[in-house]
Amino acid sequence: MLGKDKNIKTRDESIVTYGGAVSSEEKTVIGKQITIEGTVRGKEDLLVEGSVKGSIELAGNHLTVGLNGQVEADIQAENVTIRGHVTGNVDALAKVSITKEADFNGEIHAKSISVEDGAYLKAVIELEKEPQMKNIRPVKLGDKAASDTSAKPAILTSEADKAK
Amino acid sequence: MLGNSQSGSHLPGYTSNALRLFLEGLEQVRESQVLDVGSICGDNITFFARRIKRLYICDMFFHLSRDSRGILPPNQIWKHLDYPPHSFDGILLWNLIDYLNDSQVGRIAALCHDMLKPEGMVLASLAGKSMSGTVPCYFAIKDRFRLEINPKPEIGLSLHIRSNREVLELLSLFTPEKSYLYQNGIREYLLRNN
| A102 Cβ under 8 Å from any chain B Cβ | no
A31 close to A49: Cβ distance less than 8 angstroms? yes
Angle at A62 between CA A58 and CA A65, to 5 degrees: 100
Of A3, A31, A27, A5, nearest in space to A17 by CA: A3
pLDDT of res. B168? 95
Cα–Cα distance, A126 to B111 (Å, whole number): 23
Task: Collapse the DSSP code of B161 into the 3-class scheme (helix H, G, I; strand E, B; otherwise coil) and give the result.
Answer: coil
pLDDT tens digit sequence for B62-83: 888 877 777 767 677 788 999 9
Inspect the interface and report whether the beta carbons of B144 and A149 lie closer than 8 Å: no
| A162 Cβ under 8 Å from any chain B Cβ | yes
> For the purposes of burial, counting CB atoms within 10 Å of the CB of B117, is it exposed (0-12), middle (13-18) or buried (19 or more)?
middle
Of chain A residues 107-146, which have a CB less than 8 A from chain B? 113-127, 129, 133, 136-139, 141, 145-146
Q: Which ipTM was obtained for this model?
A: 0.88
Highest mean pLDDT among A19-28, A33-42, B121-130, B183-192: A33-42
> For the purposes of burial, counting CB atoms within 10 Å of the CB of B194, is it exposed (0-12), middle (13-18) or buried (19 or more)?
exposed
A115 contacts in B (CB within 8 Å)?
Answer: 40-42, 45-46
Question: A39 has which bridge partners?
Answer: A15, A55
* Residues in chain A, overall count: 164
> For the purposes of burial, counting CB atoms within 10 Å of the CB of A147, is it exposed (0-12), middle (13-18) or buried (19 or more)?
middle
Inspect the interface and report whether the beta carbons of A126 and B54 lie closer than 8 Å: yes
Residues 6+ apart with CB under 8 A from A13: A37, A38, A54
DSSP letter string over A83-141?
-SEEES-EEESSEEEE-TT-EEEEEEEESEEEE-TT-EEEEEEEEPPPGGGG-PPPPPT
Domain ranges of chain A: 14-129
DSSP letter string over B52-104?
SSEEEEE-HHHHHHHHHTTSS-TTGGGGG--PPTT-EEEEEEET-GGGS-HHH
Inspect the interface and report whether the beta carbons of A150 and B80 lie closer than 8 Å: no
Inspect the interface and report whether the beta carbons of A149 and B168 lie closer than 8 Å: no
Task: Tell me the CA distances in angstroms from B84 to A37, A107, A142, one per residue in order.
Answer: 32, 16, 40
Which of A124, A125, A150 has the CB atom closest to B15's CB atom?
Answer: A150
Angle at B32 between CA B28 and CA B37, to 5 degrees: 120
Helices vs. strands in chain A: H and E counts, helices first = 2, 13
> How sure is the predictor about B10, in pLDDT bands with cuts at 50, 70 and 90?
low
Sheet holding B146-151, edge to edge: B11-15, B146-151, B137-141
Task: State the first-to-last Cα distance of chain A, in angstroms, to the nearest integer.
Answer: 75
pLDDT tens digit sequence for B138-168: 899 998 899 998 887 777 788 899 999 999 9
pLDDT of res. B4? 37
Task: Tell me what the mean pLDDT of segment B48-52 comes to.
Answer: 95
Measured in angstroms, the CA of A77 and the nearest CA of chain B are apart by 20
pLDDT tens digit sequence for A56-102: 999 999 999 999 999 999 999 999 999 999 999 999 999 999 999 99
Residue A22 has pLDDT above 90, yes or no: no
> How sure is the predictor about B194, in pLDDT bands with cuts at 50, 70 and 90?
confident
Inspect the interface and report whether the beta carbons of B15 and A126 lie closer than 8 Å: no
Structural domains in chain B plus CATH codes: 11-192 (3.40.50.150)
Cα–Cα distance, A69 to A49 (Å, whole number): 4
